[in-house]
Structure 1
Amino acid sequence: MGGNRAVVYVRPGEVEVRDTSYPELILRDGPGVNPLNVGRKCNHGVILKVVTTNICGSDQHMVRGRTTAPSGLVLGHEITGEVVETGSDVEFIKKGDLVSVPFNIACGRCPSCRRQDTHICEHVNPDRPGSAYGYVDMGGWVGGQSEYVMVPYADFQLLKFPDKDQAMDKILDLTMLSDIFPTGYHGAVSAGVKTGSAVYVAGAGPVGLAAAHSAQLLGASVVVVGDLIEERLAQARSFGCETINLREHDDLGEQLEEILGVPEVDCAIDAVGFEASGHGENAGEAPATVLNSVMDITRAGGRLGIPGLYVTGDPGSKDDDAKEGTLKIRFGLGFAKAHTFVTGQTPVMCYHRDLMKAILSGRAQIAKAVNATLISLDKAPEGYKRFDGGASKKFVIDPHRLVRS
């Protein structure tokens, strides 16, 4: 059997491409693999030749040293690939199929999966509900920023593209179905975006841009995006969003009033998460800033969609409470305004088929919205550095140079 190459976390601020073992239909011991998962047989799985795999902001949290990720962890949970081997229990997915892989690993059998809560599957992570590829404390399923990867529960999870040639023509859009597009869309749905809504999106990284585009698809009358980086705000403006530079303005409500005529919105989306910064020219990290600010500017009775990542432990934080996942949130304000909060990982399978159809019809232009940028596997370390530096790009890795540019 051939070899494999993958993007591996080395230490804070450093990733590299290493030779790794070719995947098998069994979960072997390795960095980050839960000991209780070692030896787990996956005859229900497939081996994929990775066509595209994306760098995610969640990966960046690990690379910055803001989690307990071990050295040697293979990164990557946004995977699109071609099936090259199927397990003996796989019935409907066939060799040669081109498929999108939800970042949530889900068995399809447990009570959560039967409720379509595939983001909190009860069978794939021995420590707690929910699992993902290449992510710390998520059961140790090997990541997909690689040439080949094993995907379990293939019949249940995989989204097969109906026409391979059509899919390859739109692959930079379709690669977003594994995580970022459903995650942004979930944020907008959770926030209750509907026809005519005025929406605020905190963060103009790829998830924030995906949430903004999703809000437009759902009928928002205006989408306002706030961020600290002007390059990212320019990307939001490129597809019709209003923007606020929070480095230059520390009064969010005042800026919203200039745009909307009132200092509040119908609903808001937190696409930043636990590494949030304060507002203003000299502001530093302040992890509760976004949650408190969106409560402040969302109308009474409004909803807050929170796809931004929050963690149970942040060893790299300068705030002692935040190191244990505790934030100083003005919950009383949210209570007084009768806000609804929706948190947690996105149940990708609730959305990915409909979003695929929106892409194939031309209705959704997600690659354009997030500025999808193709790179080779060897350029992944450089992509991580550029992304960490604030580049307004969604880096898409093409391990086998299969994508027509």
Structure 2
Amino acid sequence: MAGNKAVVYSKPGSVEIRDTDYPELVLKDGPGVNPLNVGRKCEHGVILKVVTTNICGSDQHMVRGRTTAPSGLILGHEITGEVIEVGRDVEFIKKGDLVSVPFNIACGRCRSCRERNTNVCLNVNPDRPGSAYGYVDMGGWVGGQSEYVMVPYADFQLLKFPDKEKAMEKILDLTMLSDIFPTGYHGAVSAGVRPGSTVYVAGAGPVGLAAAHSAQLLGAAVVIVGDLNAERLAQAKSFGCETVNLRENADLAGQIDQILGSPEVDSAIDCVGFEAHGHGKAHGETPATVLNSIMEVTRAGGSLGIPGLYVTGDPGAVDEDSKIGTLKIRFGLGWAKSHTFVTGQTPVMKYNRDLMMAILSGKAQIAKAVNATLISLAEAPQAYQEFDRGVSRKFVIDPHGLVK
């Protein structure tokens, strides 16, 4: 039987490359696996040889020790791979297919899936609606920052690339379809971005950059990206965004006014989440900062897309309320301005096919926007450290050296 190396969370601040079990079409017991999911048979699934798998900011929350993730958890929910084994009940996906895997695991059978809300599938996580690979409290499905991975419900979930050779030519773009491109796009759609819109994106990490590029694809007139990190803001500026440096100038509304001639935008997108920091040179962690600031700068009747991650358990939070996800949000301000809020995991399958076509046709340049950077599996621990320091790169792991 073949081996399987994987990126494993060991302790706060540390990941390791370990030899792990080669996947089978069954969910076995292991770190983070819900007892009610142990032994779950997956003849509707496939085994993938991982072609690319990306490091995500959501992974960093676990690695920093800001969740209840257990030691030994195999990481990775952004997966693109080649099908090498097909379960008995798989009808349409074939060996040799090159596919993108939506990060949300979905059965295709429940009410949520039938209504295209695959982000809150009712059948894959005994704890709550919704699941993902290699993520805390998501049912225990094994992550894909590895050489091989098992993917359930293959016929329903997998997005097959129509031409394998052409797909490999654009694999650094197509690898973003598993999460950050649909997530950024969902943030922009949820915020009501349309031709001629003015848009504020909070956060210039990979999801924020994906949201900014998505807003451009949707026809926004002006996209403004805010962050505390000058390197990441430079990356946003590189593809035509306006930027505001909130470390140098804490007055967000004033900076927007200088750009637009008005202190408000039509739409805003939170791509930061629960580890948000206050603005200014002496900033500290204040989890509600972004949510309150985007309500302040979004016009009355506007919409707020919130793809940034918020959790119900944060052992490293700054106060007791924040440890259970209770934040001091100025909800009265949002109510008074008749804001629409859209939160939660992105239903990747709503968007990934259209975004694939945008990539293949040359309309979308997502790898350039997020500064995709190819690394080997062995380089993943160092990449996690660099990403945590705020480097403006989207690290793409190539476990088998298949990407030219």
Matched residue pairs, number?
404
List aligned pairs for 1:56-205, cutoff 5 A: 56-205=56-205
Residue 42 of structure 2 corresponds to 42
Q: After TM superposition, give the deviation of residue 313 of structure 1 in Å.
A: 1.2
RMSD (Å), alpha carbons:
0.3
Counterpart code for 2:324: E
- Tell me how far apart the structure 2 counterparts of residues 117 and 324 of structure 1 sit (CA, whole Å): 25
Deviations 1:88-122, CA, capped at 9 Å, x for gaps: 00000000000000000000000000000000000
Corresponding position of 1:234: 234
Deviation at 1:319, TM superposition (A): 1.6
Q: 1:318 Cα shift?
A: 1.7
Indicate the larger mover: 316-325 or 223-232: 316-325
3-state secondary structure, aligned to 1:213: helix
Residue 278 of structure 1 aligns with an amino acid whose one-letter code is G
Matches within 5 A, 1:229-308: 229-308=229-308
- What are the superposed Cα offsets for residues 352-403 of structure 1, whole Å, 9 maximum, x if unpaired? 0000000000000000000000000000000100000000000000000000
Code of the aligned partner of 1:387: F
Letter in 2 for 1:97: D
- Structure 2 counterpart of 1:167, which letter? A
- 1:142-162 CA-to-partner distances (Å, cap 9, x unmatched) read 000000000000000000000
**Could you list the per-position Cα deviations for residues 19-54 of structure 1 after superposition, in whole angstroms to 9, with x for gaps in the alignment?**
000000000000000000000000000000000000
* Structure 2 match to 1:389: 389
- Structure 1: 5+ residue runs without aligned partners? none
Give SS of 1:320's match.
coil
One-letter amino acid matched to 1:31: P
| AA matched with 1:196 | G
> Which residues in structure 2 correspond to 1:347-386 (within 5 Å)?
347-386=347-386
Distance 1:319 1:229 in 2: 25
Paired with 1:255 and 1:185, the residues of 2 have a C-alpha distance of 25
In the TM superposition, residue 320 of structure 1 has moved relative to its aligned partner by 1.4
Q: Sequence identity, in percent?
A: 81
Partners of 1:69 and 1:35 lie apart in 2 by 15
TM-score by length of 1: 1.00
Aligned to 2:12: 12
- Alignment correspondent of 1:332: 332
CA offsets 1:188-235 (integer angstroms, 9 cap, x no match): 000000000000000000000000000000000000000000000000
Structure 2 Cα separation of the partners of residues 108 and 324 of structure 1? 31
Q: Deviations over 1:154-195 (max 9, x none)?
A: 000000000000000000000000000000000000000000
User: In the aligned structure 2, how far is the partner of 1:225 from the partner of 1:350?
Assistant: 25
Supply the distance in 1 between the matched residues of 2:319 and 2:235 (Cα, whole angstroms). 32
Long gaps (5+) in structure 2: none
Distance 1:292 1:2 in 2: 51
SS of the equivalent of 2:258 reads helix
Shift of 1:126: 0.4
Deviating beyond 3 angstroms after TM superposition, the runs of 4 or more aligned structure 1 residues are none
